[in-house]
């Protein structure tokens, strides 16, 4: 940590209810619930998030939705390089005034639309550390794992506890579904700790969780055709309480042929999609891909 970074961190830290209210009053603003603006004001929780991400001076970090900058100032004081994507013009102006650090790059725009080249970050081994606005948590996870995965080393995210459960869910549980399968395919994930509503201003209606996602250098399983794989997953969970022997008829209409395929892959047609693990989904979709059928 340089002396200038330390000074910025010590002078500017909006992580309290009083500081957050003061800054919002200066801006003439109120938390925008449409944009999922619930400001984290618990310093201990913020410090724990940075520790969970293992941020050091050697790291390049991407933050999504910095808001008033409570997490940002901690990242700037610890990381070698920080880029933050912010959509709200008022917060952009505030962060430009309060965090003029040489290792900080603020990117105006929508995180679901911004190009990687606009972030001025390295091409690989970037760490994402973000308190995601609730309304973009699911599409942002897809963007991280599908679009930006080659650039990333890890992602430490604050999300709704329900979303964290879906990210880290094992098979045969109510939370298990396409989100867990996507995470298992490209990464390993664990829910690290929960955050109570009282740690935010205003308090959200739900409990939040911090989830740590470690990106794998290659997908966990080989896929012959990802389009076929995701079509099988989508169909299997589209009517999750129905048996595979029924729901997969939308892909293989011939019941006899479908039964034969499932038997070949050692999958009981009476099982439901939520009982299949990643390897079984991959094995089934790879076999279907070899049939050269149109899905």
The per-residue pLDDT for range 41-53, each reduced to its tens digit, is 999 999 999 999 9
Q: What is the pLDDT of residue 28?
A: 87
Q: Is 80 exceeded by the pLDDT of residue 5?
A: no
Burial class (CB in 10 A: 0-12, 13-18, 19+), 181: buried
The per-residue pLDDT for range 88-123, each reduced to its tens digit, is 999 999 999 999 999 999 999 999 999 999 999 999
Banded pLDDT at 26 (limits 50, 70, 90):
confident
Banded pLDDT at 1 (limits 50, 70, 90):
very low
Q: How far apart are CA 102 and CA 20, in angstroms?
A: 24
* pLDDT more than 90, % of the chain: 87
Q: Which domains does the chain have, with CATH numbers?
A: 3-215 (3.40.50.150), 226-290 (1.10.8.100)
Contact present, 158 and 195 (Cβ < 8 Å): yes
Whole-number mean pLDDT of the chain? 92
Contact present, 71 and 91 (Cβ < 8 Å): no
Q: Is 70 exceeded by the pLDDT of residue 74?
A: yes
Q: What is the pTM of this model?
A: 0.91
The per-residue pLDDT for range 265-282, each reduced to its tens digit, is 999 999 999 999 999 999
Q: What is the pLDDT of residue 4?
A: 40
* pLDDT more than 70, % of the chain: 93
The per-residue pLDDT for range 134-183, each reduced to its tens digit, is 889 999 999 999 999 999 999 999 999 999 999 999 999 999 999 999 99
Q: Is 70 exceeded by the pLDDT of residue 3?
A: no
**Higher per-residue pLDDT: 293 or 237:** 237
Mean pLDDT of 225-247: 94
Q: What is the pLDDT of residue 169?
A: 96
């Amino acid at each position: 940590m340089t002396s200038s970074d330390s000074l910025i961190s010590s002078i500017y830290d909006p992580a309290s209810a009083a500081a957050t209210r003061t800054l919002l009053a200066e801006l003439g603003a109120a938390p925008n619930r449409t944009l999922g603006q619930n400001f984290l004001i618990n310093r201990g929780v913020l410090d724990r998030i940075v520790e969970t991400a293992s941020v050091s001076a050697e790291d390049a970090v991407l933050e999504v939705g910095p808001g008033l900058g409570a997490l940002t100032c901690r990242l700037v004081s610890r990381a070698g390089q920080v880029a933050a994507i912010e959509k709200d013009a008022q917060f952009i102006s505030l962060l430009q005034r309060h965090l003029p650090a040489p290792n900080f790059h603020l990117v105006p725009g929508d995180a679901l639309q911004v190009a990687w080249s606009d972030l001025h970050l390295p091409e690989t081994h970037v760490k994402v550390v973000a308190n995601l606005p609730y309304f973009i948590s699911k599409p942002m996870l897809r963007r991280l794992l599908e679009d930006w995965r080659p650039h990333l080393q890890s992602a430490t995210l604050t999300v709704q506890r329900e979303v964290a459960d879906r990210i880290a869910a094992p098979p045969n549980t109510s939370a298990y579904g396409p989100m867990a399968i996507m995470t298992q395919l490209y990464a390993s994930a664990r829910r690290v700790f929960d955050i109570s509503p009282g740690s935010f201003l205003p308090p959200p209606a739900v409990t939040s969780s911090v989830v740590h996602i470690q990106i794998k250098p290659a997908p966990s399983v080989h896929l012959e055709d990802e389009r076929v794989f995701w079509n099988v997953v989508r169909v299997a969970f589209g009517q999750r309480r129905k048996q595979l022997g029924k729901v997969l008829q939308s892909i293989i209409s011939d019941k006899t042929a479908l039964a034969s395929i499932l038997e070949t892959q050692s999958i009981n047609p009476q099982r439901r999609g939520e009982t299949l693990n990643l390897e079984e989904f991959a094995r089934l979709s790879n076999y279907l891909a070899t049939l050269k059928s149109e899905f």
